[in-house]
Structure 1
Amino acid sequence: MKILNAIDIFSGVGGSSEALKRYFKIISSVEMDPIIAKSYELNHGKDHLYIGNIRDIGVDYWNNLLMNHKNKLDLLVSTPPCQGFSKHSRTKILESNDERNTLILETIRIAHITKPKFIFFENVPNIIYYKIFHTFLKKLSNIKKDGTKLLPNLPSYHIRYECVDAYDYNVPQKRKRMILLAKRIDQFPNKDAYIRTRNVTAPIVNAPLNIWPDKIPAPTLNAYLSQFKLSLLNAGETDMNDKLHRARSLSNLNLKRIRATPHNGGSRKNWDDSLVLDCHRKKNVSFGDVYGRMSNQEYSPTITCGCVSYSKGRFGHPTEDRAISLREAALIQTFPYNYKFTGKLTGELYEGSFDNIATQIGNAVPVNLADIFFREISKYS
């Protein structure tokens, strides 16, 4: 069987790696946070794991890596931090001074060194309006209008990018993402691959790459979670047979609030006036999902770093009087039930910082989403 090599940069806790290893051999992954890297190691080992700032990894590392793997890279996976591009941090739509946003250019730097056959890139939909993303696409494509290389010594790529929702790709969650696939161009000219960025709001590819997976609609929240037969929990409790199935404590006031919130999609609109926060008494207050419940008959809202906090979104359990547990959040992100997490540098399973584990889960690429795209890419590798 043909061995396909892959690199996973910005790997986080390993959501993309979990899907990636089903079709590819991961020869390197990069994660800067040492606690998150410890969770990654628990699931995927440490032999190929680089812990540190990706900007500090020089040419020699990548060249030596490729030399040990027959100078062949089939897929580069890049899922850089998205917070700087999110709507919540938007200042001026086409500009951004957030230093994290320049990390997307590390994808190009590494692609220029390793020359992968395919690239998978994932971020928030809002990224497509930023000038740095327009620059990113032009540099990555490296194609002139006549279909020839812009810079002859660098690889060129035929690109397709789309904004998708995770529930269309077997994830029981409303999670809008921008996904980009790129295939190295080995025959020129290729006018289809030319990208227009001038006088357009979002970049336009002449004829986008014709590789893309079919949609696989996800089951609803209850249909998905019911297969795992999770125990009932009260706020602040931990299932003694499953330490990841633990829920945050709630104050007496928040317990009153969630008990006053109708099951399966209820919101704070149903509260008595005595339960309403002062900041929510104003007209046209946004963030209407805050303090709401999920619905068993629908998809989950986007799982974020604050996904286990009742006050940070529609993260109330559909029927139980608590926020969702870490286990439920991980399952909604389609991590396997046996996936391991730690919030401690020493690596004790399911121990340590509650918030750190929630961040690992919320920042991850949903496993099923990645799986569908990696399987499709593997057919052409």
Structure 2
Amino acid sequence: MVKLTFVIPSSLDYHGGIEKTVSRYFFYNDPDFTKTVIQGKHGFEGKNIYEIKSLYSRLIIRTSGKINFIIRLMAPAILQLDRIININTIKKIEKDSQIIYLTNNDYYYLFKYNGFLIWSEHGNLPSNYTGVKLLNSVISALIRNNLLFRKIKAVHLINCYNMNVVPFKKKFCVPNGVDSALFYPAEKKHETIRLLFVGRLEKSKGIDKIFNVFKNHVLDMELTVIGSGTLEYLFASPLKNINYIKNPDDKKLAEIYRNSDVFIFPSTLENFGNVVLEALSSGLYTIVSNTTKPRFDEPEKMNFLEYINSTEDGILNALNNIKSKLEYTGKYENRKAMHNFISQNYSWNVVLKQFYEKVKEAYLS
């Protein structure tokens, strides 16, 4: 029995893609693993779930942009302080765990652990660790020569096109997943196009640009916004053609997807985008930022996805041309084909089995 610990900066009941994914990892029944979770903030409670008081978690969750980047540069010092504050819990985890899996790679500095440490693409890869191309190249070279991050034994990629980019010798690729039994298409026909955004309400997700497009232009469509974050105030007052729902449960969320026609997600900082899988599995025509290319090239080839510039002009242009796209994606048989593709390649039943097979293979090899 392999003892595996997941480390997340927030908690399992936080409404982000990382937390939903780790929750799936944790509750999946694999007879060869016992699992533990360390949460960086108060939240979900249960057996084998530990909570630490993490200053770094508070800072990284509440900030974005340049401030967030500065905090990440200070990660080694802040996380050493976190280690001191939570020393008993962390030492217990280090003693009891055969594998520690980091969803935020900065948490490397929290541990003095000589066991099997896995770095994941849920956080930043060395190829884009700092945001500065030259410095990233230097970091990659140091890793390749075993001069930096030497405690990392393997890397889990969620985007397989990065396999040749990551400088670590031991690496494996398993994408994120979706509950294809919950997110499925429905036969529908709406007189007015229904547009949907699901995600954190932060500038990096592009929700402010979508809001401005609807505020400054007359569009013959309805927008539903789902999520929470620092830009919630944009939707504090009722707005024409815009519906805001904060955090519906999964059943209600799936119903909202099914009752929509188009999903828009112009996020520029996305490691994968679980919500994109939910939309495609629900048979929605999907508009995403071109910064996510080539992640969703297959749905693009199937005429269900479009890459755009994440600007107000890029969003407006895509929406002005949406009716012609819906002539194809509006047909139920085409939506069903898209759902089947997602189910065969990204359903949790497929992904979770692959994940534990790959972790086991990396650990034992």
Report TM bin, short chain. 0.3 to 0.5
More helix by share: 2
Q: Which has the larger radius of gyration?
A: 1
The TM-score with structure 2 as length reference comes to 0.40
Greater RCO, CA 8 A, separation 6+: 1
The TM-score with structure 1 as length reference comes to 0.39
